[in-house]
Structure 1
Amino acid sequence: MSTTKTCVRSPVPTIALCFIVALFEGLDVQSAGIAGPAIAAHFGLSSSMMGAVFSASIIGLLPGALAGGWLADRLGRKRVLIVAVMIFGVFSAATAMVWSFESLLIMRFLTGVGLGAAMPNLIALASEAVEQRSHGQAVSFMYCGLPLGGALAVLISNAGLEGSWKAVFYVGGLGPLLIVPLLCLWLPESSAYRAQKGRDHSAPTRRLRVLFQQAAARPTLLLWVSYFFTLMVLYILQNWLPSLMMSQGLVRSEVGTVQVALNLGGAIGSLLMGLLMDRWRIMALIVSMYLGTVAALAGLGFSSQFYSMVVAAFAAGFFSIGSQLVLYALAPRFYPTSIRGTGVGSALAVGRLGSICGPLVAGQMLATGSGAAMVLMAATPGIVVAAAAMLLLVAGQHRNQR
């Protein structure tokens, strides 16, 4: 009898390095929102102009996610991730050197391109490093870096450094550039990508058409709807929460505490949701997390005491960021390796449309005199639609598996 030895590569280096990249991505994604009040004061920007600043990086996320996902299937997850990290590192640091409203918009847009290209590769690398039954855990360990990066951004902004709104962009720029050599040396390419490398050289338009052929069409549309509305709510929180809390009478240090609570809740929610995905009924998990998001937003909008705002912010991060984690962990399951980057990237790109709409709508509502409660509760219909789409998605998957 002969035996065949197989060499199983440990997923730890991949998930650890992806976590570090996600940490800096979370710092950069939330840096503009956290530094928003100081930036507005420095350049004399109105609420609607700040809405444009918040949306500039999000607009960049859309083409970045599409290009990053497609290139990942053509050139490899590792190569594209390294280039994406370099892009958002350079332009995040450049944000600290802007001299006008227009230059601020340009730097945030280009930062967003790099951030958008990185995420589909992080998801693909983390999910492909383990067996399917462990996807939730792997993606959750990677993804919890995002809210922890947001908490780090708050601490940097509140450190009392001279020109502290610039410090958060310098750290968010130089940090990613310093980890590029680590990615080059120690990040392994996805074994699933290497196994299918060279089999498909189709153009981007054909790859997108494949997402709407046969069994892929229904999951693609439902994923797009879920991503759009879930990210719309999340980016309202991430970009406008500091300004909303200051309008409620909180001082800067108290706003920072609320932001840290939001991100810590998100980190814990991401880890717990990832574990539950692999062990609990997914439909019950979806209902719980979206109901929790609605309740947390109501608590955050109608709270009048500082400590109740902290508790509500923790719950909002736990459920809203946790629900995004579930989306990120689910999406790779619906696509084969050859189009996984394209499928995840397209869903992220559609989600970025929601991310663009959320801060812009919130900015216009504030400009017309709406309060924090009205802005936050305006997101409720979107949460209901996202939950319904996810339930239909999972129900369809269960039917196909019978």
Structure 2
Amino acid sequence: MEKSDHKHAVVTVAICFLIAVIEGLDIQAAGIAAAGISEHFGLDKPQLGVFFSAGILGLLPGALAGGRFADRIGRKKVLICSTAVFALFTLCTVWVNSFHSLLAVRFLAGAGLGAAMPILITLASEAVSPQNRGRAVGLMYCGMPVGAALLSLIAATDFGSNWKNVFYLGGLLPIVVIPLMMLLLPESREFLQAQNQAESADNAAPKASFKDLFNEDNRIRTLCIWVSYFFTLMVVYIMLSWLPSLFMELGFSRKEGSTAQFYFMASAAIGTIILGMLTDRWKKAYVIILMYGGMLAGLFALNGAGSLTQMYMASALVGAFVIGCQGVLYAFGGIVYPTAMRGTGVGVGSAVGRIGAMLGPAIAGQLLAAGFGAAGVISAAIPCIIISAVFMLLLVRRIGQ
């Protein structure tokens, strides 16, 4: 039995990791393809900003619907459907011929991706024992920076210099993974068990609703998760969107900025795994203090980087803790909510986080336009980190871990 449980967990986490790699590719894709898309469609800077926002905006309804349906009809079915939606509309990005249709397909691709993310977290959480949830989510989520780092390398080749190839890659890879999911991905045993219990109790599937997030048991937990997701993702997306520009603002070349971004993503993959493992082994409060303290240290190091080596080291430090922290927060979503509403809880939390993800880059852009420079953007991120840390410590106290 233990052997079959182990195989179940390995297959689930491995397939979820592959989908997370594809998410990482997509996160980098818009930035890498921006110059080519701008030229092809004749876009100005504000229109390009709207193009960036369309994909992130799609993540919102996707995350809400994906988690909800996963609690109703099963994790596996919804993950396959959402991956197919993402693949189809990513390929459509290459075939559309107007700015408005470009925005529509980016929004719909984002919705597919947004629906997949809470299900990946839920599946990885439920494939292992409660004692190993942080590790499982960390191993799964490290696929995101791995995908982003891979696309950074691909972008430096002749293949990556054509913006259409970036979206062909992003659309065809999930089509390859879908048959693997259909054949190999097991449905969550916890979900099946909860469904069977509910059916034997009242002959109906478990019906967790959005209002259950605010019942007596979950109200404080939900509030803490929402605030932490919101402010942490705000910082994550400021870094993801503006890092190359911030490096240039600090006096480094575009090529040096791209290299630093690779260091950022490579160390993010390692940080996500290590922080995920520590979540299972340490007291949760220690992990939170370490990860938010590490984020602050990384931002101060980035602001004070005088040489190229210092900048690369600061980028690696920021990447390890900023992206690693996101992985830990997702693991907490899996720990905090019971099985019948885990998909809903993580999905709504992800959607709230995506609002922060949309606002963060826009606020950073305004600060840069107002002349505050890289130091102003980095300083603005510091209160966000402190607020997130305080609410996560409150959550840990609430759940007694």
Same fold (TM over 0.5): yes
Residue 310 of structure 1 pairs with residue 312 of structure 2: yes
Contact kept? 2:232, 2:326, Cα under 8 Å:
yes
Q: In 1, Cα distance between the equivalents of 2:150 and 2:117? A: 19
Q: Decide which moves more: 299-308 or 350-359.
A: 299-308
The verdict on how the C-alpha distance between 1:182 and 1:235 changes in structure 2, with shifts beyond 3 A counting, is: same
For residues 329 and 210 of structure 2, the distance between their equivalents in structure 1, rounded to whole angstroms, comes to: 20
The change in CA–CA distance for 1:294 and 1:105 in structure 2 (over 3 A counts) is farther
Q: Give the AA of the match of 2:60.
A: L
Which residue identity does 1:334 align to in structure 2? V
> 2:388, 2:133 → 1: CA distance?
21
CA RMSD of aligned residues (A): 2.2
Amino acid at match of 1:118: A
1:242 maps onto 2:252 in alignment: no
Distance apart, 1:335 and its partner CA: 1.4
1:240: Cα distance to partner? 2.0
Letter in 2 for 1:28: D
8 Å CA contact 2:124–2:140 kept in 1: the answer is yes
Q: Is residue 378 from structure 1 mapped to residue 376 from structure 2 by the alignment? A: no
Per-residue deviation, 1:94: 2.4
Alignment match, 2:349: 347
Residue pair 2:231, 2:353 contacting (<8 A) in 1 also: yes
Alpha-carbon distance, 1:34 to partner:
3.5
Q: Separation in 1 of the partners of 2:317 and 2:182?
A: 38
Q: Which residue identity is paired with 1:150?
A: A
Which residue in the other structure is 2:174 paired with?
Answer: 176
Partner SS for 1:215: coil
Identity %: 48
Amino acid at match of 2:316: F
Alignment of 1:202-241 (within 5 A): 207-241=209-243
Q: Secondary structure at the match of 2:371?
A: coil
Distance 2:320 2:3 in 1: 40
Task: Write out per-residue CA displacement over residues 142-162 of structure 1, whole angstroms, 9 at most, x where no aligned residue.
Answer: 010000011011111111337
Higher percent of residues as helix: 2
Aligned length: 394
The 10-residue stretch of structure 1 (61-70 or 51-60) with the greater mean CA deviation from structure 2: 51-60
* Distance in 2 separating the partners of 1:366 and 1:71: 40
List runs of 5+ in structure 1 lacking aligned partners: none
Whole-angstrom distance in 1 between the partners of 2:39 and 2:328 = 37
Counterpart pick for 2:188 among 167, 187, 190: 190
Name the TM-score, length of structure 1 as normaliser: 0.91
Compute the TM-score of the two structures, normalised by the length of structure 2.
Answer: 0.92
What's the CA shift for 1:368? Answer: 3.3
- Residues 3-402 of structure 1 mapped to structure 2, 5 A cutoff: 8=5, 10=7, 11-40=9-38, 43=41, 45-161=43-159, 163-197=161-195, 199=198, 201=205, 207-398=209-400
How far did residue 30 of structure 1 move?
2.4
Counterpart CA distance in 2 for 1:46 and 1:5 is 58
Distance across 1 between alignment mates of 2:11 and 2:376: 45
Q: Which moved more, 1:368-377 or 1:210-219?
A: 368-377
Deviations 1:307-327 (A, max 9, x none): 322211111110111111111
Q: Distance in 1 between matches of 2:118 and 2:206?
A: 19
Q: Are the structure 2 counterparts of residues 397 and 43 from structure 1 closer, same or farther at C-alpha, using a change threshold of 3 Å?
A: same
Q: Deviations over 1:55-114 (max 9, x none)?
A: 221111110000000000111100111111111122222223444443332222111101
Structure 1's 294 and 197: CA in aligned 2 closer, same or farther, altered over 3 A?
A: same
Q: CA deviation at 1:19?
A: 0.7
Do the aligned partners of 2:194 and 2:206 also contact (CA within 8 Å) in 1? no
